[in-house]
Amino acid sequence: MIRFVALGIAGLALGAPGAASTGASLRLASVKPLVVKGSDFKGGERVVVTLTVQRHRVVRRVTATPAGSFTAGFGVVQLGRCPSFTVRAAGLEGSVAILRRLPLPACIPFKSP
């Protein structure tokens, strides 16, 4: 019985890396204007792409190509050098990807001890 359980756990562990590598992803294509590219979404999937900068949100709705990719532009958004932002792409068929840009180290306020 113990061998059976151990083999079952080993089988799950071997299957996990392949499943993790097929997830949807986002990458920053341009900062001025802000453009993100999504890949590995389901073909033809409708995707809601939400940009959050500080407390402001901008939403774009796109449809993935048959290959599962898309491009979403946020040209009206002016980003400075320091603000962090988050882009979340959520497909209506369950695909999700998140891209975060943290503030640059020089932009973080210094706190004295």
* Residue 54 DSSP SS3: coil
pLDDT confidence bin for 15, thresholds 50/70/90: very low
Question: Which position has the higher pLDDT, 14 or 23?
Answer: 23
The CATH homologous superfamily to which domain 23-107 belongs is: Immunoglobulins (2.60.40.10)
Per the CB < 8 A criterion, the answer to whether 33 and 74 are in contact is yes
Residue 111 pLDDT > 80: no
pLDDT in tens, 33-50: 889 999 999 999 999 999
pLDDT in tens, 59-71: 999 999 999 999 9
Cα 95 to Cα 28: distance, rounded to the nearest angstrom: 18
Q: What is the mean pLDDT of residues 69-77?
A: 89
Q: Domain locations in the chain?
A: 23-107
User: Is the bond into 33 cis (omega within 30 degrees of 0)?
Assistant: yes
pLDDT in tens, 80-110: 777 789 999 999 999 999 999 887 777 777 6
DSSP helix, strand, coil percent of the chain (3-state; round to 5): 20, 40, 40
- Looking at the chain, how many residues does it have? 113
In this prediction, residue 22 carries a pLDDT of 54
pTM: 0.72
Query: Which residues lie across from 88 on neighbouring strands?
Result: 50, 98
